[in-house]
Amino acid sequence: MMQGKTRLILPDRSRVADLLGRALTERLTAVRKELPGRIYLTGGTVRDLLMGREPVDIDLTVEKRAWLWAERLSRMTGSTLVPLGREEDAARVVWAGRDIDFSSFREGAESIEQELTKRDITVNSMAISLDGLLGDGPGELASGPAEIIDPCGGLRDIRQRVIKVTSREAFRSDALRLLRVYRFAAVLDFSVDPATSALVAEQKGMISRVAAERVAHELDLIIGSARGHAVVSRMAGNGLLFELLPELRAGVGMEQPASHHLDVFEHSLDALFWMLKVQEQPGRYFLEFGDVMEDFLAAGRRRLQLRWAALLHDLGKPATVTIDEDRGGRITFYNHDREGARQVGEIARRLRWSGDDAAAVAALVGLHMRPFHLGNVQRQERLSLRACLRLIKKAGALLPGLFLLGMADALAGRGEGRPENIEREIDMLFTRIERVRREHVEPVRRHPPLLTGRDLIEVVGLEPGPVFRELLERVEDAQMEKKISTREQALSLVRACLEERKKGSRPGRKREFQDPEKNGNA
């Protein structure tokens, strides 16, 4: 976390007018004629102005009837109206590329000062009155600093770069605030006040009351920030992290083999740290194909999915730990990748992740040992084309991400028993596999397949069934290995496979076609 103080920029009243803009100011003035009452610029908008940041959205607070304010503005501008919460008098107008949020005084507050004290953290509990702006019009607004209404000490806490709750009752109004403390610490690069951290530890159990989607959103913002590792570590320090992800607690204090210098949980945190580093400069770690990594990270939510995968990649170790007495008491975690993928699926359901996030993170965790297994093979002998093709097909579009995860995992394991130059080994392995993908996989997939299911029916005479997929994959594999290149060769291969399957069947057993190569190790 950044130390020191922040220089406050007290906004000029004309700066507030510029922020709102003439079009919004004129329409708010018109609404106010219908709905008299005071109106204030509040919350994160004021905080960002004070920190010299450009506010993206506009937060407005009125004494009452916030919904009507939003409805009138929406109707005037022909823009979208979105309700905010079921019990709060609050709504959002989406207009001209901005969210304009309206809320009424909360919890019986009778003044703006009382209303601000009922918010969550001090740096979000400041206001600027817009009465003069909307009363006289933008052309007649006086110059000079805008008056900051600050009953909770937000100005002081911005200077000190600290997140502090407004009161000991802050979390009882909305338990999601337990997480918002850390979200704002992450996105603002602030520390968390020790008394606030202690209060989180005391009241952390209340987080179970919060809807899963809201929790997931805050966690994504934390892990997706540039300070995700440090903030997640602080959440672990007072126990909030384990209230949300209890599966991680089992790794605390769990010893690992000599290739690791940290216990399972601390290693997972370190993997998240290194994932952030690798994402900053992928070309530093992948010398030939850094551009491939950049392209992968630029797509959708890949950066965030990889950060989650880094934090959760060893989730299955506590459930699979054994001591191999035959190998001198060696600690092993056989199949922890599969168990971890299963637990990721449970977390995804609990947090109501999207299908894409759930599938991507589970797949990355389930496959994260593959690069290391192939690295072991590569040290002994040249990696076979078939082994490369199997991984390319298994990982699919996640292939670059799998090696990004492998790199972060390797960097987080610095025990005396780690293989020498393992980071360079992972880079070279990806280079080899990416070349195979470009030379063997892409040329095949750019063209129509040699055979289709219709060919298997009309030419070979098969009835549709599960064997179709296996046969067509066998043809594609052979084509990628450059063993066949024509339709006639593909048909010959299919007939040979069927003959092999026929010879391998026995009375009383279901006949299945299997590729013996798919049953081995890497």
User: 224 to each of 79, 185, 227, how far by Cα in Å?
Assistant: 30, 13, 8
Tell me the two tokens of residue 49: 């102005």
In angstroms, rounded to a whole number, what is the distance separating the alpha carbons of residues 6 and 262?
35
pLDDT (average), residues 491-515: 70
Stretch(es) of the chain classified as CATH 3.30.460.10: 1-160
For residue 404, pLDDT beyond 70: yes
For residue 401, give the 3-state DSSP assignment: helix
Angle at the Cα of 372 from the Cα atoms of 223 and 346, rounded to 5 degrees: 45
Cβ atoms 453, 464 nearer than 8 A: yes
DSSP string computed for 236-255? HHTTHHHHH-GGGGGGTT--
pLDDT digits (tens, 9 = 90+) for 286-327: 999 999 999 999 999 999 999 999 999 999 999 999 988 777
Half-sphere exposure of 37 (CA within 13 A, CB side): 19
Cβ atoms 116, 125 nearer than 8 A: yes
CATH 1.10.110.30 fits 161-244, yes or no: yes
Residue in the structure block whose two tokens are 């003069």 = 132
pLDDT digits (tens, 9 = 90+) for 450-460: 999 999 999 99
Q: What is the 3-state secondary structure (H, E, C) of 128-142?
A: EECHHHHHHCHHHCC
Q: Which CATH architecture has domain 1-160?
A: 2-Layer Sandwich (3.30)
For 426, other C-beta atoms within 10 Å of its C-beta total 24
Cβ atoms 345, 380 nearer than 8 A: no
In angstroms, rounded to a whole number, what is the distance separating the alpha carbons of residues 252 and 315?
11
For residue 491, pLDDT beyond 50: yes
pTM attached to this predicted model: 0.91
Tell me the two tokens of residue 264: 């399972």
Stretch(es) of the chain classified as CATH 1.10.110.30: 161-244
Cβ atoms 190, 163 nearer than 8 A: yes
pLDDT digits (tens, 9 = 90+) for 18-66: 999 999 999 999 999 999 899 999 999 999 999 999 998 999 999 999 9
pLDDT at 393: 96
* Residue partners of 425: CB distance under 8 A and separation at least 6: 375, 378, 379, 419
pLDDT digits (tens, 9 = 90+) for 207-258: 999 999 999 999 999 999 999 999 999 999 999 999 999 999 999 999 998 8
Cβ atoms 141, 111 nearer than 8 A: no
Please give the share of the chain, as a percent, with pLDDT higher than 90: 82
Q: Which amino acid is at 145?
A: P
As a residue count, the chain comes to 522
Q: Which amino acid is at 38?
A: R
